[in-house]
Chains A and B, each alone.
Chain A
Amino acid sequence: MTMRNLQRQASWLILAGVGVLLFSFLTVFPVNARPVAQETEKFCLSCHGDSTLSMTLPSGEEVSLYVSQDELDHSVHSNKGIECEACHNNISGYPHPRIKYKTQRELSLAYYQTCEKCHSANYEKTQDSMHAQAAAEGNLDAPVCTDCHGHHDTSAPDEPRSLISETCNKCHTDIVDAYKQSVHGAALLEEDNPDVPVCTDCHGVHNIQDPRTDAFHVQSPELCAGCHADKELMDKYDLSSDVYSIYKRSWHGVDISVYKARWGTVWHDSAVCTDCHGVHDMRKTDDPLSKVNSKNLLATCQECHPTAGPNWVDAWTGHNEISLERTPFLYYVDKFYTSFTPFVLWACIIYVVLQIIRSIADRVRSTLS
Chain B
Amino acid sequence: MSPKNTNLRASARQEKTFARFTLGQRWEHAVLILSTFTLLLTGLPQKYREMSWSQDLLSTPERLELIHQIHHIAAIILAVEALYHLGRAIYLISRRKLSAAMFPNMQDIRDAWHMLQYLFFLRKDKPIFGKYNFEQKVTYWFLFFNFAIMGISGFIIWFPVTFTLFLPGGVVPASKMAHSTESVVAAIFILVWHFYHVHFERLNLSIFTGRLNEKEMLEFHGREYQRVAGQPTVDQNE
B119 at the interface (CB under 8 A from A): yes
When distances are taken between beta carbons in the complex, the residues of chain A under 8 Å from B188 are 341, 344-345, 348
When distances are taken between beta carbons in the complex, the residues of chain A under 8 Å from B185 are 337, 340-341, 344-345
B24 at the interface (CB under 8 A from A): no
A327 at the interface (CB under 8 A from B): yes
Q: Which of B55, B170, B192 contacts A328 (CB 8 A)?
A: B170
User: Are A312 and B192 interface neighbours, CB within 8 A?
Assistant: no
Shortest CB-to-CB span from B164 to chain A, Å, is 4
User: Are B49 and A358 interface neighbours, CB within 8 A?
Assistant: no
User: Are B61 and A334 interface neighbours, CB within 8 A?
Assistant: no
When distances are taken between beta carbons in the complex, the residues of chain B under 8 Å from A361 are 121
When distances are taken between beta carbons in the complex, the residues of chain B under 8 Å from A276 are none
Of the four ranges (under 10, 10 to 19, 20 to 34, 35 or more), the interface on chain A belongs to: 35 or more
How would you classify the secondary structure of chain B's contact residues: helix, strand, loop or mixed? helix
User: Are B170 and A314 interface neighbours, CB within 8 A?
Assistant: yes
Q: Which of A330, A345, A349 contacts B174 (CB 8 A)?
A: A330
Q: Which of A266, A348, A359 contacts B201 (CB 8 A)?
A: A359
User: Are B170 and A309 interface neighbours, CB within 8 A?
Assistant: no
Within 8 A of A (CB), among B169-206: 169-174, 176-178, 181-182, 184-185, 188-189, 192-193, 196, 200-201
When distances are taken between beta carbons in the complex, the residues of chain A under 8 Å from B196 are 352, 355
User: Are B168 and A251 interface neighbours, CB within 8 A?
Assistant: no
User: Are A329 and B174 interface neighbours, CB within 8 A?
Assistant: yes
When distances are taken between beta carbons in the complex, the residues of chain B under 8 Å from A329 are 168, 170-171, 173-174
The 10 closest A-B pairs by CB, nearest first: A314-B169, A329-B174, A315-B172, A315-B169, A329-B170, A348-B192, A311-B164, A354-B119, A337-B181, A311-B169
Instruction: Report A's interface with B, CB cutoff 8 A.
Output: 251, 254, 258-259, 262-263, 266, 268, 305, 307-309, 311-317, 327-330, 332-334, 337, 340-341, 344-345, 348-349, 351-352, 354-359, 361
* A315-B169, A337-B181, A344-B189 known, 17 other contacts, Cβ within 8 Å: A268-B61, A308-B164, A314-B168, A314-B169, A315-B164, A315-B172, A315-B173, A316-B169, A329-B170, A330-B173, A330-B174, A344-B185, A344-B188, A348-B193, A354-B119, A355-B196, A355-B201
Sample of 27 A–B contacts (CB below 8 Å): A254-B49, A262-B55, A263-B60, A266-B61, A268-B61, A311-B164, A311-B168, A312-B160, A312-B169, A313-B169, A315-B173, A316-B169, A329-B170, A329-B173, A330-B173, A337-B177, A337-B182, A337-B185, A341-B184, A341-B188, A344-B185, A351-B119, A354-B119, A355-B201, A356-B200, A358-B119, A358-B121
Instruction: Report B's interface with A, CB cutoff 8 A.
Output: 49, 55, 60-61, 118-121, 160-162, 164-165, 167-174, 176-178, 181-182, 184-185, 188-189, 192-193, 196, 200-201
